[in-house]
């Protein structure tokens, strides 16, 4: 009997892992001119208004994926399309290695990336970067009812009460919450206020491919409560007047890289709906299949599929707020993905005494950047359970949405500010801004300081460099101010493929584009404290 049982447990992993996960990237899209001329076919008016306010132009990434390509792949034997991304012009497929490799026969396929990186060596198409993740650690909660005034620490640590006193409570801002499930949000008294005021605008379960939002898991419930719950003298969220979309992207039953693809798909949906802030209390580095694991060296902000998606989300004018992770006490304590992305606001956890919680993951990213970005209460924090009771819980899963809610309040106060300006303003308000480190990042934000100094800080934004000439036939130059430290520039073609990368340390740098074909190219410039994207035309 023992032998049979042993055989059973040995065979299960082999059966499970016989199916491979991979990303299939396409070469082109269809009807580009039509969609560019009819943007409401791709994005809501609110999404277009957000782009207009921030001077963000429509580009190739906004064009929908070619559904004919998707349909062709879906008909291949032993292939299942699990998710799709217009931003990446890619689909996530599951099937046998042989079946996935057979997709190379199609002219519209640009490249194939297996989640198991060892399989990419056997493919004829060389991948630009592999995507492997693991999902969030669920938090343990103490089911004890709290003192009625304990919630105040969560807001007062950030001086958020000063924004609330001036009636900046997130009104007019939309936050998308990407999580594992929202059990009880449709019935718990703590969410009665946002239900009655129609502040839950909708949502979707990308895992089940249905509208089952209020089931499966309470993690999203706990997360949402830090922003949106309201029970007088018991629990008040940081953005009780904001509106919310709820998206399920996390499969609580398994650890598979398809969850990152679902996250990107949901984020694209959020963009199209006009969302302002993405909150994700999810982090990925390990999977059920160890071959899919994301190593520390790959947590560089540009390798993981979800991290690349988070960067694109920021480039569309949204703020992306991410939990740092709860691995700080483990042998591998570093942040996961998408916390490693360049432009996201990565949030770590502290105690009420403002000391770092031991479990809070640390930086730097593998390419040496400061992470986390900021800190907020995450030890003995107060959340609502599925019945509406305030209970204690721990985790960076909750420090991130506390920050997301306060960002909505601050952005309400400065409605014409760009996402980059709001991000920079919050970092500059933090208590370690002058001397950041990889345990605390830039420290604990002071939202009262941010509110009072916003106009002065915003005047300084984006005045520090210019890119010229544009159009150009040979050289493309960038000028930085004298106090500039360092940055990285990337150049992408119209298909979104990276064709150039260079570290910049000089205040004046020039790059040759003479050998490039005529056309439109996209650049991204990133330093510790700012990010800039734009187009350059090669004549």
- Active site residues per annotation: 179, 219, 397
Pairing of strands 200-205, 230-231: unpaired
User: What's the gap between Cα 68 and its chain centre?
Assistant: 28
Q: Sheet holding 319-323: strands in order across?
A: 200-205, 243-248, 174-179, 277-280, 319-323, 345-350, 374-377
Query: Nearest CA to 310 among 287, 335, 277, 334?
Result: 277
Bridge partners of residue 149, in order along the sequence: none
For the beta sheet containing 90-95, the strands, ordered from the edge strand earlier in sequence to the opposite edge, are: 79-85, 90-95, 20-26, 109-114
- Tokens found for residue 170: 């997130």
Provide the phi-psi class of 209: left if phi over 0, else alpha when psi is between -120 and 50, else beta. Answer: left
Q: Check residue 346 and report its DSSP letter.
A: E
Specify the pairing of strand 487-492 against strand 498-504: antiparallel
Which CB contacts under 8 angstroms, 24+ apart, belong to 451-457?
Answer: 451/162, 451/163, 451/166, 451/168, 451/410, 451/413, 453/425, 453/428, 453/429, 454/410, 454/413, 454/414, 454/417, 454/425, 457/421, 457/424, 457/425, 457/428
- Looking at the DSSP bridge assignments, the partners of residue 508 are 479
Identify the three-state secondary structure at position 492.
Answer: strand
Q: How many helices and strands, by DSSP H and E, does the chain display?
A: 14, 23
- Residue indicated by tokens 């931003």: 87
- The C-alpha atoms of residue 213 and residue 247 are separated, in whole angstroms, by 7
Q: 145: which DSSP letter?
A: P
Rounded to whole angstroms, the Cα distance separating 368 from 7 reads 45
Task: Identify whether 225 is preceded by a cis peptide bond (ω within 30 of 0).
Answer: no
> Can the peptide bond before residue 119 be classed as cis, meaning omega within 30 degrees of 0?
no
Secondary element (H or E) of residue 266: helix 258-273
DSSP letter (8 states) at residue 483:
T
Q: Are 302 and 374 in contact (CB under 8 A)?
A: no
Q: Give the three-state DSSP class for 409.
A: helix
Residues 6+ apart with CB under 8 A from 344: 310, 311, 314, 320, 321, 322, 338, 373
């Amino acid at each position: 009997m023992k032998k049979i049982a042993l055989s059973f447990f040995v065979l299960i992993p082999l059966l499970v892992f016989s199916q491979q996960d991979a990303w299939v990237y396409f070469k082109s899209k269809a009807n580009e001119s039509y969609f560019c001329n009819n943007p409401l076919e791709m994005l809501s008016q609110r999404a277009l208004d957000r782009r207009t306010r921030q001077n963000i132009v429509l580009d190739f990434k906004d064009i929908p994926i070619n559904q004919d390509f998707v349909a062709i792949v879906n008909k291949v034997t032993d292939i299942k399309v699990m998710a799709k991304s217009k931003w990446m012009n890619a689909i996530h497929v599951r099937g046998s290695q042989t079946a996935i490799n057979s997709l190379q026969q199609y002219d519209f396929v640009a490249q194939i990336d297996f989640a198991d990186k060892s399989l990419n060596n056997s493919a004829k198409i060389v991948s630009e970067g592999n995507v492997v993740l693991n999902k969030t650690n669920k938090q343990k909660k103490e089911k004890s009812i709290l003192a009625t005034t304990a919630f105040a620490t969560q807001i007062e640590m950030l001086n958020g009460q000063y924004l609330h006193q001036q009636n900046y409570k997130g009104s007019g801002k939309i936050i998308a919450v990407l999580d594992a499930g929202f059990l009880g949000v449709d019935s718990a008294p703590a969410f009665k206020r946002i239900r009655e005021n129609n502040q839950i605008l909708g949502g979707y379960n990308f895992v089940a491919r249905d509208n089952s939002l209020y089931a499966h898991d309470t993690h999203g419930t706990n997360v949402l409560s830090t922003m949106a719950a309201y029970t007088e003298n018991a629990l008040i969220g940081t953005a009780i007047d904001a509106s919310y979309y709820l998206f399920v992207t996390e499969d609580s039953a398994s650890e598979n890289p398809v969850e990152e693809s679902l996250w990107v798909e949901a984020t694209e949906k959020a963009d199209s709906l006009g969302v302002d802030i993405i909150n994700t209390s999810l982090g990925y580095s390990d999977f059920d299949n160890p071959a899919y694991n994301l190593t520390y060296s790959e947590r560089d902000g540009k390798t993981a599929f979800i991290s690349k998606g988070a960067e694109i989300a920021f480039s569309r004018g949204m703020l992306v707020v991410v939990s740092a992770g709860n691995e700080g006490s483990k042998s591998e304590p570093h942040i996961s993905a998408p916390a490693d992305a360049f432009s996201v606001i990565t949030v770590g956890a502290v105690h009420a005494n403002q000391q770092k919680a031991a479990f809070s993951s640390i930086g730097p990213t593998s390419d040496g950047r400061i992470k986390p970005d900021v800190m907020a209460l995450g030890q003995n924090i107060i959340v609502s359970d599925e019945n509406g009771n305030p209970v204690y819980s721990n985790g960076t899963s909750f420090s991130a949405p506390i920050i997301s809610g306060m960002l909505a309040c601050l952005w309400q106060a400065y409605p014409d500010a760009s996402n980059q300006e709001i991000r920079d303003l919050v970092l500059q308000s933090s208590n370690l801004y002058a001397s950041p480190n990889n345990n605390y990042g830039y420290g604990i934000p002071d939202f009262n300081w941010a509110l009072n100094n916003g106009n002065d800080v915003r005047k300084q934004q984006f005045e520090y460099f210019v890119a010229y000439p544009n159009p150009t036939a040979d050289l493309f130059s960038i000028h930085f101010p004298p106090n500039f430290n360092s940055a990285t520039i990337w150049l992408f073609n119209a298909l979104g493929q990276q064709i150039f990368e260079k570290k910049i340390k000089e205040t004046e740098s020039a790059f040759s584009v003479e050998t490039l074909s005529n056309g439109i190219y996209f650049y991204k410039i990133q330093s510790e404290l700012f990010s800039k994207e734009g187009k350059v035309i090669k004549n």
